[in-house]
Copies of this chain bind each other. A is one copy, B any other.
Amino acid sequence: MKDKDTYKVTFFHPQATRIEAHKGRDLLSCAVEAGVHINSSCGGDGVCGRCKVIIKKGQVKTEPSGRISLKERRKGYVLACQTTVHSDVEVKVPPESRLDLDKISEQDAKLLRLKGMYSQAVDVEKGKRIIEEDLFKHSPLATKLYLELPPPDLGDTTSDLERLYRGVRKTSNIPILQTGLTNIKRLGRLFRESEWKVTVLLGKRNGTVEIVAVEPGDTSEKNFGIALDIGTTTVSGQLVNLNTKEILGTKATHNKQASFGSDVITRIVYASERDGLEKLHHAVIDNVNAIIEELVKEEKINLNDINGIMCAGNTTMLHLLLRVDPKFIRREPYVSTANFVPVIRAAETGIKVNPRGLLACVPGVSTYVGGDITAGVLACGLERADKLTMLIDVGTNGEIVLGNREWMVSCAASAGPAFEGSGVKCGMRATNGAIQRVEIDKSNKVKVSTIGNAKPRGICGSGYIDCLAELFRRGIIDRNGKFAKGKEFVLVPKKDAAVTRNIVITEADIDNLKRSKGAIYAACAVLLKKLKLDFKDIEQFYIAGGFGTYLDIDKAITIGLLPDLQRERFTFIGNSSLVGAREILLSYEAKTEAEEIAKKMTYIELSVEPSYMDEYVSALFFPHTDLSRFPTLQTKTR
C-alpha cells in the first residue's frame, strides 16, 4: 500500500527514471537516489546554481534564488537542491545540468577504463584479525539520531534551531555543536511538515560536532560509510554500515591515474603540465565514484545514505584526491602541503554520495610515509606492541615501520608495482582467476591454484613469489634470476587459461620483481643498521600488501623478500591500510590514536643514507649476495 506521504518523482535526462520520495524531500537527493547525475558543486547550499532542473508536472515548493533568471523561472526552472516534492512530479534535467564528470568519463572511457576494473575484490577480512574487535569505542565519523521534538507552545517558544540543539544535547554531551545557514533555512518548514519528527545527521569535525543535515521522519537506520585506500596502482573501497560496523562489500580497481605515469614521481611531474592536476584528480575521483556506485548497487543502498568517507593513501595520492598541487613533494626539502587534512564535505572533491556527507583523511607522517602507513600501524597494533615489531607494506612504494609502544621509525623505498601485478607481463590484481600459488615438481610440471578456483587469467603478487621461489628451487633460474635456457617460462598454456595466450613469467618480469624485493629488503636492512639493530631482534613481523588472500612466508624468504627469521614471527595481514581506514571511520578513538601515531613516528630519508645503494645491489640476487644472512635456506637448498 502506498504511503499517503510518498510521491512518484520521475526524471527525464532524457530517458525516464522514477523513484518514490517522501513528501518534502529535495529534488537533488532524489536525483542522487535515482542515479540521475546532476551538477552540484556547493553540496546543496543553493549557492552554485548548477543543479537547475525544469518542473514539467506536479507540485513543488522552492526557495527563491538569484541563480534562476526571471525568464528561466517562467519556464519552470528551479534549483533541485532548493526544491521539495509535494505531489507526484515530473522533472526534466536540461543538458547543462548533467554532470561534467560523466562527460569526462565518456570522452576518456576508451583510453582509461581497464577491463575487469570493477570485479569483486578478495575480502581482506578473511585473513587474521590482529587487533581486538572492540578495541576502539564505536563512534563513527557520521552518526544519525532520530528525534521526536516537543512542539513549541506559548509556554515554550524556544527557536527551532535551539530546540534542535537541545534535542541533540539531551542524548550526548557535545561541547561544541555547529551547523550552517543551509540547514537553518530549511528548519522552519521541515519541522512543521514532519510534525517535529526528524533525523539528525551528526558529523565529527576536528573536535567539534556538526549538524550535517536534518531529514524528515526516521531515517536513522540508513547510515553507511566508505573506507578507501588510494594506492598508486590500486584503489580499494569498502562499504560499511556505520551503525552496526558490518562490512557490506569490498571492491578494488586499478588506479586510472596509471595512464599518466606509473609511480608517484611521474604523476607529480604530470600534475605540473597543463590540466595535469585536473586530469589526475578526475581520474581518481572517477575510480572512487565507480567503486562506490558498484558497492551501493550490489547492496541496494541509496547513495544519499553514504554519510562518511575515510581515506587512507600515500601523501601524493591524497593530495591528488583533494586536488592539492603535489609539486613541492618532489622538490628538496620534500615537503607536502598537508599531512593532517581537516574534515571536508565529500562533494568538495567531486565524490558523489550524500551531498552534505563528510570526507576525512587518515593523517600521514611525512611526504613519503602517508596515511596508508598510519592506518596500517593502527590495523596491526604496532603502536601498542610490547615486542619489537616491523611492518612492511609492499605497494608501488614499499614502506617500512619499526618500533613498539615506546617509539616508531619509518622509511620508504621505491619498490615499483610488480607485486601489485603491474609492469609484469601476465600480472593482475588479486581477484578471481589470479594465480596465487604455484608448485613445480622435479620434472618441471607446474601446478597452480587461483583465487576463487577460477580458470587462470594471470598472476598476482603471491603467485609471483611462489613462482620465483619454485623456479629458483628447481634450478630453472639462477641466483641472478636468469633462465638456464630460454627467456620465459610457461605456467599455464593458452588452452588451460581463461585468456587467449600462454600465462608466462619472463626474464624482464623477474628483473622487475627482483628490483622490488631488493628495494624492500635493503630498506629494512638500512633502517635496522641505522638503529644499531639486527633482523634477529625483530620479534613480530607484519607483511601488508595486495598480494592475494594467501602469502607463503617460506617462499617469500626463499626469494629474499623477507629476512630468514623463525617462521612464527611473520604474519601476513593483507590490505592493512583499508582495515585501518575502516577502524578510523568507525571510531573517533581510533582517529585520535592515528593522529598520535602520525605525530610520534620518525621518518628517515633513505636516499641520503650512504649504505642504501650497497644494500640494494647486494639484494638483487636470490635470496641475497650474502648467503650467510639466510642460514635456513642454505641447509634446504644445498
A153 contacts chain B at the CB level, 8 A cutoff: yes
Nearest residue in B to A182 (C-beta to C-beta)? B348
A352 contacts chain B at the CB level, 8 A cutoff: no
A337 touches B160 (CB 8 A): yes
A184 to chain B, nearest CB (A): 5
A336 contacts chain B at the CB level, 8 A cutoff: yes
A-B contact pairs, 14 of them (CB 8 A): A64-B275, A154-B332, A154-B333, A154-B334, A157-B367, A159-B340, A161-B340, A162-B339, A176-B176, A180-B342, A185-B323, A185-B337, A187-B338, A188-B327
From A17-25, A40-48, A238-246, A257-265, the one touching the partner chain is A40-48
Nearest residue in B to A66 (C-beta to C-beta)? B100
- Knowing A188-B324, A327-B188, the reply to whether A179 touches B48 (Cβ < 8 A) is no
- Knowing A49-B48, A333-B154, the reply to whether A176 touches B206 (Cβ < 8 A) is yes
A338 touches B207 (CB 8 A): no
Q: List residues of chain B with CB within 8 A of the CB of A179.
A: 342
B48 touches A335 (CB 8 A): no
A279 to chain B, nearest CB (A): 9
Q: List residues of chain B with CB within 8 A of the CB of A64.
A: 275, 277-278
Kindly state the separation between the CA atoms of A154 and B368 in the bound complex, as whole angstroms: 13
Kindly state the separation between the CA atoms of A153 and B605 in the bound complex, as whole angstroms: 13
A130 contacts chain B at the CB level, 8 A cutoff: no
A632 contacts chain B at the CB level, 8 A cutoff: no
A407 contacts chain B at the CB level, 8 A cutoff: no
Chain A interface residue count: which class? 35 or more
User: Would you list which residues of chain A between 236 and 293 have a CB under 8 Å from chain B?
Assistant: 275, 277-278, 282
A486 contacts chain B at the CB level, 8 A cutoff: no
Q: List residues of chain B with CB within 8 A of the CB of A613.
A: none
Kindly state the separation between the CA atoms of A248 and B420 in the bound complex, as whole angstroms: 66
Q: List residues of chain B with CB within 8 A of the CB of A206.
A: 176, 178, 208
Kindly state the separation between the CA atoms of A189 and B282 in the bound complex, as whole angstroms: 22
Kindly state the separation between the CA atoms of A510 and B93 in the bound complex, as whole angstroms: 59
A340 touches B162 (CB 8 A): yes
Which of B48, B100, B154, B333 is A153 in contact with, Cβ under 8 Å?
Answer: B333
A260 to chain B, nearest CB (A): 14
A34 contacts chain B at the CB level, 8 A cutoff: no
Q: Please list the 3 inter-chain residue pairs (A to B) with the smallest Cβ-Cβ separation, ordered nearest first.
A: A64-B278, A161-B338, A41-B47
Kindly state the separation between the CA atoms of A549 and B610 in the bound complex, as whole angstroms: 80
Kindly state the separation between the CA atoms of A363 and B392 in the bound complex, as whole angstroms: 55
- Knowing A207-B176, A328-B188, A608-B154, the reply to whether A348 touches B159 (Cβ < 8 A) is no
Q: List residues of chain B with CB within 8 A of the CB of A157.
A: 333-335, 366-367, 603
Kindly state the separation between the CA atoms of A341 and B159 in the bound complex, as whole angstroms: 11
User: Would you list which residues of chain A between 317 and 355 have a CB under 8 Å from chain B?
Assistant: 322-325, 327-328, 332-342, 344, 348, 350
Kindly state the separation between the CA atoms of A181 and B45 in the bound complex, as whole angstroms: 17
Kindly state the separation between the CA atoms of A366 and B367 in the bound complex, as whole angstroms: 52
Which of B49, B153, B154 is A50 in contact with, Cβ under 8 Å?
Answer: B49
Kindly state the separation between the CA atoms of A234 and B180 in the bound complex, as whole angstroms: 28
